[in-house]
Amino acid sequence: MTVRGYRDAMSFVLRRADDAAFRWDRELVVGLHDRILAGDGAAGAGRFRTGPAYVVDHRAGQLVFQPPPAGEVPALVDAACSVIEQGREHPAIAAAWIHVAVAAIHPFQDGNGRASRVLASLAMYRGGFKLPEFTSLEEWWGRHLSDYYAAFRCLGEAFDHDTDVTPFVRAHMEAQLHQVRALDLRERVQHRIWTAVEEAVTAAGLAVLLATVLLGLLGMQLSRTAPRRGKNARFGAAVLVYAAYYNAKVLAKTLVGNGTVGLVPGILWVDALLAALVAAMLWRQLRGTQWEQP
């Protein structure tokens, strides 16, 4: 339920981010939280907490932060939304600020961390940053939990309106930078590996050999189908198939080159589709032959 709710909330963010009527307000925060907890009323989905909240280090069994009283939550959320609605800061700073602000207010019974991170993603989307490496730090924080919790130490032991959250904003932006650099390095390494594999396959003539065999088999099947249409029709079909295959290869190389498609399946999916087409035609012919037998 946790994963499904988080994905639903992120999908909601994508749908709302470009809405001309969008505004940061209390109902937005509550609605996102309801989706994050998948409407679980027992967990307080979509409702501000009505009692005290405590942030506890369960490993040490110690209270590490005391959020504000429940009675102050609605007004504090309204104030936070008002600040972010003004849009005066760079999206990266706004995302970090709303993240730490909502986490400090701790407006809900459960799911406060997830709500804070989704709102941070929304701030980035609203600022024009649409790529996942900029908008979501969920994966990064998941691999660096100690750094994530350490970033909140600037809040002190209890909620204070005048707390300087610059250390958290800096940590949040550094995490974004590290994530972008890590993903860029991964893509460059994958591209180099792909180039080396492609050169090796080309040098060995494997790609050409595979394409020749498959296209040859397909040509044989086309020559045996629809005999009443004549040679010109079959030749035209063969040309169209080859043109489609060639363009698919070009597209596949482009997708791998820009990182849209990984090394697996790489460009092999084009040959796999061609092989599937040949197999389907062979199977169809085989079944037809079996039906014709006395």
CB 106 within 8 A of CB 112: yes
Q: What are phi and psi of 119, to 5 degrees?
A: -65, -35
Q: Which residues pair with 62 in a beta bridge?
A: 57
Mean pLDDT per segment of 10 residues, for the chain of length 294 residues?
A: 72 80 92 91 92 87 92 97 92 95 96 93 89 78 89 95 95 88 63 55 51 57 51 54 67 69 64 72 63 46
- pLDDT value of residue 281: 67
Helix, strand, coil percent values for the chain (each to nearest 5): 70, 5, 25
Q: What are phi and psi of 152, to 5 degrees?
A: -85, -5
Q: What are phi and psi of 194, to 5 degrees?
A: -60, -45
Burial string for 30-40 (b: 16+ CB within 10 Å, else e) reads bebbbbbbbeb
Q: What are phi and psi of 222, to 5 degrees?
A: -65, -35
Q: Which residues pair with 56 in a beta bridge?
A: 63
Distance separating alpha carbons of residues 198 and 267, to the nearest angstrom: 9
Distance separating alpha carbons of residues 180 and 148, to the nearest angstrom: 17
Domains within the chain, CATH numbers bracketed: 2-184 (1.10.3290.10), 205-292 (no CATH)
Query: Which among 169, 145, 143 is positioned nearest to 155, based on CA atoms?
Result: 169
- Cis bond upstream, residue 265 (ω within 30): yes
- pLDDT value of residue 34: 92
142 Cβ neighbours under 8 A, 6+ residues apart: none
- pLDDT value of residue 294: 46
Query: Which among 102, 76, 82, 104 is positioned nearest to 25, based on CA atoms?
Result: 82
The residue type at 293: Q
User: Which strand (E) or helix (H) includes residue 65?
Assistant: strand 62-65
The residue type at 140: W
